[in-house]
Amino acid sequence: MTETLLINFLILLLPVIIYLIFLENKISLTNKNLLLVLGAITTILCMSYPIRLELGFTFDLRYFPFIIASLYGGYKVGFPLYIVINVYRLIIGGNGIIQSFLLSTVIFLLVPLLHKRFMRLSSTRKIGCAAMVALGIILLFISTLTMFYETLNREYWIVSINAMTIYVVCMIFIMILVEQIHHNILRRERYAQAEQINVINNLSASVSHEIRNPLTVTSGFLQLLNKSKTLTEDEKMYVDWSLKELNRAEKIVSDFLALGKPQSQNMVHSNFKEEAEYVKNVITPYANLHEVTVNLSFSNTLSKKYDKNQVQQCLLNLYKNAIESMIDNGGTLNVDVTNHANSIIIKLEDNGNGMTKEQIRRLGKPYYSTKDEGTGLGMFMVYNTVTKLGGKIDVKSEVGKGTTILITIPA
Ligand code: ADP
Ligand code: MG
């Protein structure tokens, strides 16, 4: 029995190893097709090497891939795996097909139900949750067996307890591996982004400064030239265009400058109220122009040390993005600054055009923009500033419905 158990365990490790060696850099861990393919292979292998207990019934770890895949992937992954389990069970044949079918149906109906809640849990809780599910399933399995045994003797109980321990311990072990892989991937991504930020920071501060002066001088002279009476219509147009382009260049330069280090002369110890109100006042004419209403509600009582200019710029970028997303149909931007536990929470809710999952994933990467005139530096700066403050950003968005951006900053 130990031998087959080890084989089963090895089979369960197989997808983990395959993922780690071949797919880690290419496919997200929660990709549904990935879960499905690896899940199906593992299920079939597990069912091919069942553990035969002396009591006469067989027992295997076939529900492991099912539990893990459907907790991470929901019904979309659970359903095909359910089919795989039952079709393969039919092919294997033998006694207990009906019981196995009923049991798998119950499991299929219940486990994927947890998917949404499961995905919101922290790593440790995910592991705990999966272990509880495994325990539940093995209890269900054991209780269906009682139907075959009139006398529940000592042997039955020993086997049951062993089976329970195996299920729970194996599940905890595999889940720790899965979550650790997930954690490593996230850490590597964050590290790469931090590196990128570093490079841009160093370059931007020096280069932007040097470019700004010639830009200002050129734009000044062009404005003077524009006032000249001897210019023809065409020449005036060229000057206007040049000024417009210079303006754009200046905008990019100031975006870059804002990315630099916090300046000591700008540091304040405050609660974000002034900044949020200032930005609201600055942006209101722009919002009105596009039939967007901006509501600000403030109830934060905590304070924090930050660079005033950077926070203003950061909020301005967020307000602007939200308004720009509602440019076609108008709408409302609700900004809410509160505190919860020991954190300051800034929530921006718009009912604009929203983002796809892929867009959310790329949000905050430098130069990522979907707008013709966009620089793709706005959100990059936001992420940068919030990270500097030790905070985090959660984005929820639905195409056509709107976007909610939740910034949590520890006070
Ligand atoms: P830019 O505004 O110059 O395009 P940003 O870095 O500010 O650059 O934003 C990057 C992209 O993220 C935008 O082009 C847009 O597609 C998307 N985005 C940001 N905020 C929102 C929002 N509130 N609603 C919809 N899309 C958004
Ligand atoms: Mg922007």
Q: pLDDT value at position 210? A: 81
Return the structure tokens found at 69: 């895949």
Closest ligand, as measured to the CA of 381: 1
Distances from the Cα of 130 to the Cα of 43, 50, 180, 274, 322, angstroms: 17, 22, 15, 46, 38
Q: What is the pTM of this model?
A: 0.63
What separation in Å is there between the alpha carbon of 341 and the centre of ligand 2? 30
Determine if ligand 1 sits within 6 Å of the CB of residue 375.
yes
Q: Could you write out the three-class secondary structure of 86-123?
A: HHHHHHHCCCCHHHHHHHHHHHHHHHHHHHHHHHCCCH
Determine if ligand 1 sits within 6 Å of the CB of residue 323.
no
For ligand 1, atom 19: residue with the closest CA: 321
Q: pLDDT value at position 336? A: 96
Closest ligand, as measured to the CA of 379: 1
What separation in Å is there between the alpha carbon of 380 and the centre of ligand 2? 9
Angle at 372 between CA 368 and CA 378, to 5 degrees: 40
Q: pLDDT value at position 221? A: 93
pLDDT along the chain (411 residues), means of 10: 85 92 86 92 91 72 91 94 94 84 92 93 94 93 76 78 90 95 89 79 73 88 91 91 87 72 81 92 90 94 90 92 92 94 94 93 88 86 90 93 95 88
Angle at 169 between CA 167 and CA 174, to 5 degrees: 95
How many angstroms separate the CA atoms of 82 and 87, rounded?
9
Return the structure tokens found at 348: 């921006």
How many angstroms separate the CA atoms of 64 and 212, rounded?
61
Q: pLDDT value at position 151? A: 67
* SS3 label, residue 14: helix
Q: pLDDT value at position 251? A: 76
What is the widest separation between alpha-carbon atoms in the chain?
Answer: 110
What separation in Å is there between the alpha carbon of 360 and the centre of ligand 1? 9
Instruction: Give the chain's end-to-end CA distance (angstroms, integer).
Output: 56
For ligand 1, atom 16: residue with the closest CA: 370
For ligand 1, atom 25: residue with the closest CA: 354
Determine if ligand 1 sits within 6 Å of the CB of residue 325.
yes
Tens of pLDDT, residue by residue over 268-324, are 999 999 999 999 998 998 899 999 999 999 999 999 999 888 898 899 999 999 999
How many angstroms separate the CA atoms of 328 and 290, rounded?
8
